[in-house]
Amino acid sequence: PDNIRTLVQAFGAISRSAGYRLGKYLPKVVPLIVTYCDNPKFDQDDELRENCFQAFESLILKCPKDITPYLAEIIGHNLKFIKYDPNYADDEEEEAGEEMETDDGEEEAPAEEEEADEGGDASDDDDMSWKVRRSATKCLSAIISTRPDMLGEIYTTVAPVLISRFREREENVKLDIFGSFIDLLRQTSVATRRNPDSLSLVQLSKLTPKIVQGLTKELSQKSVKTRVGAFALLKELVSVRPGVLTSQISAVIPGIVFSLGDKNTNSNLKIEALSFLHLLLTSHPADAFHPHVKTLAPCIQKAVGDHYYRISAEGLRVLSEFVRALRPEGTSFDFHPYVKDIYQACLKQLKAQDIDQEVKECAITCVGIIVSTLGDDLAAELSECFKILLDRLKNEITRVTAVKALSRISQAKLNVDMTPILSEAIKELSGFLRKSNRQLKQSSLSALNDIVTKYGSNKAASSCQH
């Protein structure tokens, strides 16, 4: 066995070094590796199997043309051994889990049991089967990344197996499985750009409920790395097919809330959760979020007030989109109970002086969106906000962002009274037209145009001679 392992390792090393030049010898090399990969004689040799899949991966990457006749057989072995776990009766549990998926009350118990098993097996040094599963996963990833011409076949044969393996008990292998599916989604994105009517999008849409079903279970796990990986996959899914989760919003919201509120959550996970929520808000219909506003609003406001600047900045970006979703045009949703708390959360960051520049700019942008969208509910409280915006307009570092915020407020269909700062704001904006900063000049000119269009009849505006 040692000699065989060395031989298989040598094939992989030669392919990495010689590249395509090994291609003409594949009719002799590949059948040999296949024989060692799935041979009852070496049934207990996990290291040999790992070496075989590593060799396959190298051959796929280095000899993409010559390996083509053998891909179907290699994929078959990958799909078999990605589930190889002789010390854990996973297949039976998967079937049981699928039968229980319709029962929400029983869905949590298997997750807890699986978490317990995962923790128990993590210290089992004798179990090397996870290395076989990991190498099989990476080999599949190599096929997905290098063979866009096989995308349809991959969706038919490989994708369902990858989805079923989201429940993998070994965390490192699970993250590699997530990575393989992300590679598949990226290949789908490339195919869609070339052909908007690509069949792969239809296949992806059919698989979406199972994808979400598998990932929502992972979002309830204790492992931070697992949840970060799940959010990364969901972001890629939404990027490839905006709006694809419209009917699945209620399934992913609990995972977002859990990750933002869990005491054991680290900053990376919070940022991933907020980033996914931001993408979700920008790519799905506003009314899909209305049933969840009561749940989401406190979590977003808490993130806005976080001491870590990256979480606070991402929270403000999410809040900006959340406000737009609260009051889309023609909505009958009762948003009024949430307006004051949202405004105060943003105003607190707007007033703060000793905060990061990114947070300052996000707060200015966010308050501009809040006032332009919900300003008629805040008429009595806007004077403080306008004074701060005027101060930010006079600050060289924040003035471009403040100009855009004033422009947005002026464009609003709401009747927002800017009279207290109108005269001084116009003078500042007019002064910016003399500056050399091109972006500042363009933004100021646009803002002046919006102000004159909206408030041209206002005495404060007409009194300015510029």
Contacts of 406 (CB under 8 A, 6+ apart): 368, 389, 393, 418, 425, 429, 447, 451
User: Which bin fits 330, alpha (ψ -120 to 50), beta or left (φ > 0)?
Assistant: left
User: Which bin fits 84, alpha (ψ -120 to 50), beta or left (φ > 0)?
Assistant: beta
- The residue among 23 and 51 whose pLDDT is bigger is 51
Residue type, 24: K
Angle, alpha carbons 233-90-166 (nearest 5°) = 0
Least trusted range by pLDDT, from 59-63, 105-109, 425-429: 105-109
- The residue among 80 and 87 whose pLDDT is bigger is 80
**What is the pLDDT confidence band of residue 284, given thresholds at 50, 70 and 90?**
very high
pLDDT value of residue 455: 82
Q: What is the mean pLDDT of residues 80-108?
A: 58
**What is the pLDDT confidence band of residue 301, given thresholds at 50, 70 and 90?**
very high
* DSSP letter, residue 358: H
CA distances, 440 to each of 364, 393, 430, 446 (Å): 16, 11, 11, 10
pLDDT value of residue 133: 95
Name the token pair of 23: 């291609």
Judge whether residue 451 has pLDDT over 50. Answer: yes
Q: What is the mean pLDDT of residues 381-404?
A: 93
Number of helices (H) and strands (E) in the chain: give both, helices first.
23, 0
Is 101 exposed, middle or buried, given 0-12, 13-18 or 19+ CB atoms closer than 10 A? middle
- Encode pLDDT of 401-410 as tens digits: 999 999 999 9
Q: What number of other Cβ atoms are within 10 A of residue 233's Cβ?
A: 23
pLDDT value of residue 413: 87
Contacts of 436 (CB under 8 A, 6+ apart): none
Write down the pTM of the prediction. Answer: 0.87
Judge whether residue 103 has pLDDT over 60. Answer: no
CA distances, 15 to each of 26, 275, 458 (Å): 10, 40, 77
Answer whether 187's CB lies under 8 Å from 195's CB: no
- Encode pLDDT of 246-275 as tens digits: 999 999 999 999 999 888 789 999 999 999
Question: What is the average pLDDT value for the chain, to the nearest integer?
Answer: 87
pLDDT value of residue 124: 55
Residue 440's SS3 state is helix
pLDDT value of residue 265: 83
pLDDT value of residue 215: 95
pLDDT value of residue 332: 85
Q: Give dist(CA 145, CA 187) in Å, integer.
A: 7
Torsion of CA 163, 165, 168, 170, to 10 degrees: -100
- Encode pLDDT of 180-223 as tens digits: 999 999 999 999 988 887 888 899 999 999 999 999 999 998 99
Nearest CA among 362, 111, 117 for reference residue 255: 111
Judge whether residue 109 has pLDDT over 50. Answer: no
Name the token pair of 327: 């009051």
pLDDT value of residue 456: 75
Angle, alpha carbons 354-257-98 (nearest 5°) = 155
**What is the pLDDT confidence band of residue 125, given thresholds at 50, 70 and 90?**
low
Torsion of CA 180, 186, 192, 198, to 10 degrees: 0
Question: Which DSSP helix (H) or strand (E) runs through 187?
Answer: helix 171-194
What share of the chain has pLDDT > 70, as a percent?
90
**What is the pLDDT confidence band of residue 120, given thresholds at 50, 70 and 90?**
very low
Q: What is the mean pLDDT of residues 376-392?
A: 90
CA distances, 50 to each of 12, 16, 122, 198 (Å): 12, 17, 19, 35
Nearest CA among 361, 362, 284, 275 for reference residue 324: 284
How distant is the alpha carbon of residue 90 from its chain centre? Answer: 28
Is 161 exposed, middle or buried, given 0-12, 13-18 or 19+ CB atoms closer than 10 A? middle
Judge whether residue 45 has pLDDT over 90. Answer: no
Please, how many CA atoms are within 13 Å of residue 343, restricted to the half-sphere of its CB? 23
How distant is the alpha carbon of residue 314 from its chain centre? Answer: 13
Q: What is the mean pLDDT of residues 304-313?
A: 94
Q: What is the mean pLDDT of residues 102-114?
A: 40
pLDDT value of residue 458: 60
